Each structure stands twice: as C-alpha cells, then as structure tokens.
A and B are shown apart, each in its own frame.
Chain A
Amino acid sequence: MALLTCRDVAFAYDGREVASGIRLTVNEGDYLCIVGENGSGKSTLVKGMLGLLSPSHGAIEFGDGLKQTEIGYLPQKNAVQRDFPASVWEVVTSGYAARSLFLTSEQRKGAEQNLRLMGADALRKQSFMELSGGQQQRVLLARALCATHKLLLLDEPVSGLDPAATREMYEMIEDLHKNRGVTVIMISHDISAATRYATHILHLQHEPLFFGTVAEYASTELYRDFSGGDGHV
C-alpha cells in the first residue's frame, strides 16, 4: 500500500482543465520532486493533495495509515504573512491547532523537539517577523513537522533564499528524509537539486511528461532540454 496514490487525476477551474492524466504513487521513504514551468499545474496538484481542491476527474487516495490532514505542508514563501506579530513558539505550535483547543504537554514536547531538529530552538522566544528568510523557513518546516510524522509537502522551499541558506535547507530536508524516514514531496524549479536529492521525479506540463526514478529521468531527452543541455547529474 502506498502513502499517496493519484489515479488518473485531473483538475479544472470553471470547467477548464489545468492539469490532467496524473498517475503517480508515493511510497514510504520516497523523495518525489515535482518539476515543471510556471503555470504547469504544480501548485494545483499541491492543492489537490492537501484536499483544498477536489479533482475534476480521478481520485487521490491515502494509505499506510496516513490521513489527508496529516500532511506536513510548507507553503510557498509569499503565502505566509511576513509582518505578522507572532513568536516562533506560537508559529510552530500552530501546527497542532487543528488537533485540540489547548496545547497539551505532549504537543509542547513535540514542538520543542521539532524546533531542535531544525536547529531553531534558540529562536523560540523571538519574533517570527524579525528572523531572516532562512530562519523563517526552518521555523515553518518545524511547524509542518508538528502536523505530520510521515509526509512533508514542500512548495518551493528555497525560493528567495541566499545560496548558503538554500544549501542548509536542502541538507535539513535530506536529513529528515534519510535519518528520520520522512517521505518528501517537493515542488521545485531547481532541477539540479531535484536530481541530486530526490528518488523520484514528476515532470509536469499540464500532463505528466515523465514520472519515474531519478536515474530513468536523467537519461531522457526531457531532462537534457530542461536542465540546459549539459546533462550531468
């Protein structure tokens, strides 16, 4: 049984299809990168996976004890208000807000642990809006971890970060994947990082142009075109 399965999924806005024919499975331990140009339907697929948008065709199924509301989601950078008065602790614990009215001691421990995992436990009392972009992403990743133990869904996690923060972010995600057994789905523009870290690739251009392992992807014409022709992994 797979964690997540898309069975011939299509999405439409006002009757016009923006993505269709998506068939994919994500198994536990996978690291799937979804690549494609702007407007290729990546963000729509993310909304579908999160249950914010119903497919106009097909179905998205969850297995292995994963519920749709247990996906750890990291939104695109501009989706989160950066000038919002909130402490890091308040942001991280909001990952649990759907579960209970008040913070339980278990949740408190979980939030502390996730902050430590992201190397952000020193930031706990600081104001979220006064952090650097990289620090903010780490805090939001800790919040995503509060919502899940199994599957992270990251929507362009490094966009707008400087090279050092980008590398750090990739390494943290890789650590979660390798050492904590977290399954990762990442939307990315960065094809070289995608082929370096991921195990599977979905190349989307309204329909899937490719879905399979990274090794298979690297030998396709598609990869050579998209990565600018030099073709080394």
Chain B
Amino acid sequence: MFELIGQMFAYGFLVRALIVGLLVSLCSALLGISLVLKRYSMIGDGLSHVGFGALAVAASLGLAPLAVAVPVVVASAFLLLRISESSKIKGDAAIGMISTGALAVGVLVLSLSKGMTTDINNYLFGSILAMSESDVWLSVLLATVVLALFVVFYRKLFAVTFDETFARATGLRAGLYNMLLAILTAVTVVLGMRMMGAMLISSLILFPALTAMRLFKSFRSVAVSASVISVVCFILGLFSSYLYNTPTGASVVIANIIAFLLFAGIEKIRQHKIVAVNR
C-alpha cells in the first residue's frame, strides 16, 4: 500500500493533481450544499460548459488557460443570476441556452485551430496531465480564498439559503450573497474542470451535498460530511484511476455515485427501522 503511494507520488503531475483535486473537491462540496438547496444546481453545469468554450478559445490563441477562463466564467455567472432573477427567460432555459452556445463556440474554435485532435477529449472529460506548476499555485490561492469566504460568510449564506425573504427583511443583502455564491462556484468550476472535464465537473458540486443529505439533518453536519465524502471519493477515484488506468474524472464520479447509493441505502434501512419501531 505505502509502496503504491510512494510510487504514485514520484510522478510530479500526480502530486499536482492530488493538491488541486483535494482543494476543488472541498470547495465544490461546500458550495454545492447551497446550490442544491437553492435549486441552482444546474448553474454549475452551465458554467462548466462556458468554461470549456473559454479554455478552447484560450488554447487556440495561445493564452494562459486559467487567466482567460476565470473572468469569462465569473462574468457568465453574473449573467445567469441576472437572467434568472429578471425571469423573462426562466433560469433553466437560460442555462441551457448559454451552456450549449458556449459548447458550440468551443468546438468550433478547436476544430478551426487544430482540427479535432485528442485535445477536445481532454477538455470534455479531463486529463490528469493538465496541471502545470503555475496552475497549482493559482489553484491553491483561489481555493484558499473560496474556503475563507465560505467560512467567514457561513451564517449569512445559511440565512440566505434557508429563507431569502426573511434574510432580506432583516437587512441582509441577499443579492450580494447570491452573487458571491455564483462567483465562488465559477472559480471552483474552472479550477476543477481541466482535471475532471467540462462534462463531469458539476457532479462534484451535486453528489457530495446530495449524499450527505441522505443521512445528516443539520446544515453544519451536512457541510462537514459533504466535505469528507467529497475528499474521500476524490482520493479513491484518483487511486483507482492510477491502478486500473482509467480516466480520473470519470473514476471520481463513479466513486461519488457509489457513495450516494451507499448512503441512500442506509437511509432506506433507517426509515424501515423507524417505521417498525413506530408500529
């Protein structure tokens, strides 16, 4: 076992993938709770498609990928929230339009610049080799900011998520915190998508929160357990991808699905027991 770990981390790219992956797993699990409960789940999905488009454009122009993708995705997060609040076009439809639009732009740009090479596969489904040294530093920095903001504004985010009207009535600027949530999500999505893939990154946002909610019934316990679940699933996914030579992103998602099914199963058994006791 230890031999295996030592062997794995002799590879620089695996160490980088581990660092970035752990941070992204943590950020996405925490943000995912609010997003799922606010019915904003699909924002993560929409943003990842925009991120794909932005990365494709950056790659074909020879620009630094994160430096282009982060501002573009943050801007579209603003846009998505604006649209869903003004409600002329419903939120889900707006997300559908923006995400498929960005996907089309990305595919077009990639095919014009190099032809459809294996690159597109890496963008869509992730590559563990994608992380450069400077990416790692930027990721560590951004992820630290995301985590710090989440901890500092934890109570406000809870209040806005639980009951926005009440929060507004007591003078909380709910719009501001929705915006904060969207920006943090945008940053997290961009950080995670090159390893996890544009198609798969939103699962990191959805699964840990939903898995934790099967068994935990307070906001804090859901936050803690979702973080643990997310980190454990990432590590398991990374190990199995190394051992069995499977794509990392997909392996992590499979680990999350297994965790979800496990928790859902325990929930079912618990409910049966409660029903049995009540009889």
Contacts and interface: CB of A to CB of B under 8 A. Distances in A.
B217 A98 contact: no
Contact of B167 (A86, A90, A91, A97): A97
Contact of B217 (A70, A87, A97): A87
A102 B154 CA distance: 9
B155 A97 contact: yes
Contact of B152 (A71, A80, A97, A101): A101
B159 interface: yes
Interface residues of A, number: 32
B163 interface: yes
Contacts of A91: 162
A206 interface: no
B86 to A, nearest CB: 13
B194 to A, nearest CB: 32
B170 A147 contact: yes
Interface string B162-198: 1101111111100000000000000000000000000
B278 interface: no
A50 interface: yes
B217 A127 contact: yes
Contacts of A102: 155
B172 A97 contact: yes
B155 A103 contact: yes
Interface stretch (B121-129, B130-138, B218-226, B230-238): B218-226
Contacts of A73: 165-166, 169-170
A98 B169 CA distance: 10
Interface string A63-82: 00000111101010001110
A129 interface: yes
A167 B170 CA distance: 28
Interface of B: 37, 152-153, 155-156, 158-159, 161-163, 165-172, 213, 216-222
Given A75-B163, A101-B152, 13 more contacts: A69-B170, A69-B171, A71-B169, A84-B37, A85-B219, A86-B158, A90-B158, A94-B155, A94-B162, A97-B170, A98-B172, A101-B155, A127-B217
